[in-house]
Amino acid sequence: MIESVLFYTFAALALVSAVVVIAQKSPFYSAFGLIVVLCSLSGIFAVLGSPFIAVIQLVVYAGAIMVLFLFVLMLLNVQRETDDVGGSAPLRLAAAALASAFAAQVAAVIARARIVSGPEQYEASTRKVAELLFSPAFLYVFEATSILILAALVGAIVLAKRDL
């Protein structure tokens, strides 16, 4: 009972703030909306019985990525969005095509998903996540992640520092 109430509350909050993120003209309001979205998602993860993912969501997204976003907004000194962002006709066509492709993809995922009615049917404790992550099945994926992080680090430095 309490799970469904909380789930729908968080889901509604996430959806509304997501709309705010897109509809807002001021980038700082959008950023604030995004924080609410990320916190609601974290709440949904907690309701689904996975506190570890919920906390990661907070630390990495709401804490770290949002600070980066705000820094970038300051860095570029982004002002209010102007209204004439329509673009040319081919661009609009491409945007529509991409959006419908994305919608189709989401629909396909939802259609194929196995619906479970509550968090009781699977276990997502921190220990379980750890055991899965460090099982041989995910060993290479895990090590590949570190290479990805390394590449991102080098990329950021090369982009930011011109005088290397």
Partner 1 sequence: MLPVYVPILILAVVAIGFAAFTIVASHLLGQPRPTDAKSAVYECGMPAIGTARERFPIKFYLVCMIFILLDVDAAFLYPWALIYPQLGWFGFVEMLVFMTLLGGGFAYAWKVGALDW
Partner 2 sequence: MDALLRLFSLIPGWDQNVPAWASISLAGLLAAGLCLGFISLGPVGYVYVERKLAGFMQDRLGPMRVGPWGLLQTIADTIKLLFKEAIFPAAVNRPLFVVAPCLVVIGAFMGFAVLPFSPTWQGTDLDVGAFYVIAIGSLSTVGLIMAGWASNNKYALFGAMRSAAQIVSYEIPAVMSLIVVVMIAGSLSLQQIVAAQAGGLHNWFLWKFFPLNVIAFLVFFTATLAECNRTPFDIPEAESELVAGFHTEYSGFFFAMFFLAEYTEMFVASAMVSVLFLGGFAAPLPVLQTVAGFDIGPVWLIAKAWALVFVHMWLRWTLPRLRVDQLMHVAWKVLLPIALFLIVVIGGLLTAPATAGGFPWDPWFGWPLTALLCGYLMLTALRAWRWHARQVREAVA
Site residues for partner 1 per CB under 8 A: 2-3, 6, 43, 46-47, 51-52, 54, 56, 59-60, 63-65, 67-68, 71-72, 74-77, 126-127, 129-131, 133-134, 139, 142-143, 145-147, 149-150, 152-154, 156-157, 160-161, 164
CA gap 17, 34 in Å, rounded: 7
The answer to whether residue 49 forms part of the interface with partner 2 (CB under 8 A) is no
DSSP state of 115: P
The answer to whether residue 59 forms part of the interface with partner 2 (CB under 8 A) is yes
CB 47 within 8 A of CB 3: yes
Which range touches partner 2 (CB under 8 A), out of 11-19, 27-35, 106-114, 142-150?
Answer: 27-35
113 dihedral zone (left: phi>0; alpha: psi -120 to 50; beta):
beta
Map residue 49 onto helix, strand or coil: coil
- Tokens 């949904």 -> residue: 44
DSSP H or E segment with residue 66: helix 66-76
For 23, other C-beta atoms within 10 Å of its C-beta total 10
Which range touches partner 2 (CB under 8 A), out of 64-72, 100-108, 115-123, 134-142?
Answer: 64-72
Specify the residue, 72 or 95, whose C-beta has the smaller distance to partner 1.
Answer: 72
35 binds, among partner 1, partner 2, none (CB under 5 to 8 A by kind): partner 2
CA gap 108, 114 in Å, rounded: 12
Which range touches partner 2 (CB under 8 A), out of 14-22, 58-66, 86-94, 156-164?
Answer: 58-66
66 binds, among partner 1, partner 2, none (CB under 5 to 8 A by kind): partner 2
